[in-house]
Structure 1
Amino acid sequence: MKSLELVNIRKEYGDAVAVDDMNMTIRKGELVSLLGPSGCGKTTTLRMVAGFVAPSAGSVLIDGRDVTHRPPYERNTALVFQSYALFPHMSVAQNVAFGLEMRRMPRAEREAKSLEALRRVRLDHLAERYPRQLSGGQQQRVALARGLVLNPDVFLLDEPLSNLDAKLRAEVRSEIRGLQQALELTTLMVTHDQEEALTMSDGLVLMAGGRVRQSGSAQDLYERPADAFVADFVGRSNVLEGRVEGGSFRMKDGTALPGTAVPTARYYTLRPEKIALTSPDQGVPGTLREVLYLGAQTEYTVLLGTTPVTVIRATPGPDDTLARLRPGDPVGLRWNSADARLLDS
């Protein structure tokens, strides 16, 4: 169990900057997710930690030891690829033992260790099968076992769930988190999936354009976004443009909203689940445009002036007044002003 630190990491490809002056620390036993849109530099960062890409500047430290210029095999990291990267001509057990074989571990010892790793992911009964005989979820767990068997100082996950369907993704997500916590693995995971990042991570690092936009706990980024990009990317948020004027925030169409904490604010952000639907005289008046049934929840789109605002509430029972709302009905929106975040960028 080791710590990981990136100090002023930068990666350039000609005139293009893929990662720009990145600093990050993962404490021993933590799982931190690199989150961001495609092309933001998160996979490049992961590969610099693994040693597959050389940084243009900065340092990679594992437990205080500078490994920036060391090859991958001298770093004791394990990388689980998005595509699994299993050898089709090898059995499950042979795939898991491959890294140990490259380390010249005696056959009996590596067979015992690979079987133990497969037990951890509940696949020891499939040790003699081949990858083509496994489901996608089983192949992903074999890839995890192949990394775990190396007892890595730092465990690296590159979009580990992206090839799985929604139900299986939730199951494997829980397994990965359980294993990571039980083994106290220092883990860096790359994902573009907000739900994965929010539910699995001890910490988040949100990137855009090669730079860190905000880092901290999931709650920090969700409840206290540093700017409108963070508010819009982490979870769902209503991001409304306007300015503070006459004691309130006014949207571009003139609709007034409560809140003046940031005199220079240009954006008013509010999570959909923080908003209550009321009668027009009990909140900011608007017009219901759409009702979308999602099972346990219902999503409402309300026009405030000309601006659509999303509201998410528990699906009402048949006798609830909300159940009788139809598109075109006048409604009011009400929320605690402390739940709104006014941002100037």
Structure 2
Amino acid sequence: MANLNLVKIGKRYPTATVVDNLDLEVADGEMVALLGPSGCGKTTTLRMVAGFVAPTAGQILIGGKDVTTTPAYKRDTGMVFQSYALFPHISVFANVAFGLEMRGIARAEREVRVKKALDLVQLGHLGDRMPKQLSGGQQQRVALARALVVNPSVFLLDEPLSNLDAKLRNQVRLEIRALQQRLGLTTLLVTHDQEEALTMADRLVVMAGGHVQQVGTPEQLYEHPTNSFVAGFVGRCNLLEGAMAADGEFQTSRGNRISCVPGEADQHKKIVAVRPERMRISATDNGVGMSTGSLEGTVSSISYLGAQTEYVVAVGGDDFIVTHGTPSSSDPLHGIVSGSKVFLQWDRASARLLSE
């Protein structure tokens, strides 16, 4: 495998800039996820790496070699498309062998490599089947085998799980990650699914409007987002607008006071963020310690999520989302219903001040 370097790459059209001045390095054997909403530039970035879209600025290097103008078929990349892109009129075996045949690999070697690739994805016994005879998960594995069989230096995944149902998506997600780690594949993954990115990638690149908002490990982006966009996109978050009050507390635009631990650089920040699982909900006011904030509100909705229950609590004009382990029948929270008066507490250190 080889490392991948994107040096100030950009893609501009007459009416829009899709990707602007993007720098990124993917280390040898690392999986990096490009994460963001539709239209943020992540798929265009992936297709520039693959060679399907020509950048209008910057350089693309694979293993230190500049491939910016190299045709796609000479780039030594393997790509798995969102739609799988399998040929419906030829067998699974022939689909996987196609890339090798286009590269002029001898038939005997093709057969060995195709068999090995199908075995890797646990489909060695289905080589004679036609794509239409396979389930969605099996078709996805064929697409993976077809990308892997060429022994790519860089492995590219474009929304690889979006066409699978939820249960199968979780299973295939684990399989792809295990395969990537076992083979040491340098991998660039595109997804809009935050859970997919958090569980699969070594690092995340959050994009918006063609620009990188933040790069870091899943933990870094979740615990230390640099702005409100990242905080709201990576995991769920209570984001409230307002300003710092004279006493060091954050006052929301609706007048609620949020206890936090501001620094000197936070005085001009206009958003406070608190993760739902960092807030505690109780039926009675348990008192407030020096390091704790507290608010009184009314439950406006309750959602049962199995292991967890989600409460939406109205405090003045602000709504807070709070997640809590689903209470047992003996838990005081068990009696809380919509309309109940409740109290919210949180550690001051859990409330983060962010820029917009």
Q: Counterparts in 2 of 1:63-102, with a 5 A limit? A: 63-102=63-102
- Tell me the distance in 2 between the aligned counterparts of 1:229 and 1:112: 48
- Per-residue CA deviations over 1:1-49 (Å, capped at 9, x if unaligned) read 1000100001001131000000000000000000000000000000000
Partner in structure 1 of residue 257 of structure 2: 256
Q: Which amino acid aligns with 1:153?
A: S
Deviation, 1:285, is 1.1
Match of 2:290 in 1: none
- SS of the residue 2:18 aligns to: strand
Residue of structure 2 in register with 1:336 after alignment:
347
Q: Tell me what 2:37 maps to.
A: 37
Distance (Å, rounded) in 2 between the aligned partners of 1:213 and 1:184: 27
Gaps of 5+ in 2: 288-293
Query: What is the deviation of 1:280?
Result: 3.8
Amino acid across the alignment from 1:124:
G
Contact 2:260 2:350 in 1 (8 A): no
Q: Identity across aligned pairs (percent)?
A: 57
- What residue is the counterpart of 1:59 in the other structure? 59
8 Å CA contact retained: 1:249, 1:260: no
Structure 2 counterpart of 1:297, from 287, 294, 308: 308
Write out per-residue CA displacement over residues 56-106 of structure 1, whole angstroms, 9 at most, x where no aligned residue.
Answer: 010001111110011011110011100000011110011001101111111
Deviations 1:169-190 (A, max 9, x none): 0000000000000000000000
Task: Give how far 1:260 is off.
Answer: 4.9
CA distance in 2, matches of 1:233, 1:178: 26
Aligned to 2:291: none
State the SS of the aligned residue for 1:69: coil
Instruction: Name the Cα RMSD after superposition.
Output: 0.9
Aligned match of 1:240: 240
Counterparts of residues 104-253 of structure 1 (less than 5 Å) = 104-247=104-247, 248-253=249-254
Which of these residues, 260, 264, 277, is aligned with residue 273 of structure 1?
277
Match of 2:251, SS state, is: strand
Cα shift readout 1:272-325 (whole Å, capped 9, x = no counterpart): 011111224633111111111111100001111111100001101110001111
Work out whether residues 243 and 250 of structure 2, in 8 Å CA contact, stay in contact via their aligned partners in 1.
Answer: yes
* Structure 2 CA distance for aligned equivalents of residues 250 and 207 of structure 1: 29
Q: Find the residue that maps to 1:317 and give its secondary structure.
A: coil
Distance of 2:281 and 2:132 partners within structure 1: 52
The offset of 1:246, in angstroms, is 2.4
In the alignment, the residues of structure 1 paired with residue 131 and residue 286 of structure 2 have an alpha-carbon distance, to the nearest angstrom, of 63
Q: Give the AA of the match of 1:62.
A: I
Matched position secondary structure for 1:236:
coil
SS at match of 1:309: strand
8 A contact 1:244–1:260 mirrored in 2: no
Contact 2:261-2:349 within 8 A present in 1 as well? no
Deviation at 1:327, TM superposition (A): 1.3
Could you tell me whether the CA contact under 8 Å between 2:117 and 2:146 is conserved in 1?
A: yes
Q: Which runs of 4+ in 1 moved over 6 A?
A: none
SS in structure 1 opposite 2:163? coil
CA distance in 2, matches of 1:286, 1:258: 16
Alignment length (residue pairs): 345
CA–CA distance in structure 2, aligned partners of residues 343 and 82 of structure 1 = 34
Following TM superposition, by how much is the alpha carbon of 1:245 offset from its aligned partner in structure 2, in angstroms? 0.7
Question: 2: distance between equivalents of 1:96 and 1:289?
Answer: 54
Report whether the alignment pairs 1:49 with 2:53: no
User: How far apart are the structure 1 equivalents of 2:214 and 2:342?
Assistant: 36
Q: Letter of the aligned partner of 1:298 in structure 2? A: T
1:50 CA drift (Å): 0.5
Q: Secondary structure at the match of 1:300?
A: strand
Which whole-Å CA distance do the structure 1 matches of 2:76 and 2:355 have between them?
Answer: 44
**Residue type of the partner of 1:50?**
A
1:32·1:188 contact (CA, 8 Å) conserved in 2?
Answer: yes
C-alpha separation in 2, matches of 1:235 and 1:127: 40
Question: C-alpha separation between the residues in 2 aligned to 1:74 and 1:172?
Answer: 29
What is the one-letter code of the residue matched to 1:75? R
Q: What's the TM-score, normalizing by structure 1?
A: 0.99
Deviation at 1:265, TM superposition (A): 2.0
Q: Given residue 296 of structure 1, which amino acid in structure 2 is its aligned partner?
A: A
SS of residue paired to 1:335: strand
What is the distance in 2 between the residues matched to 1:12 and 1:321? 58
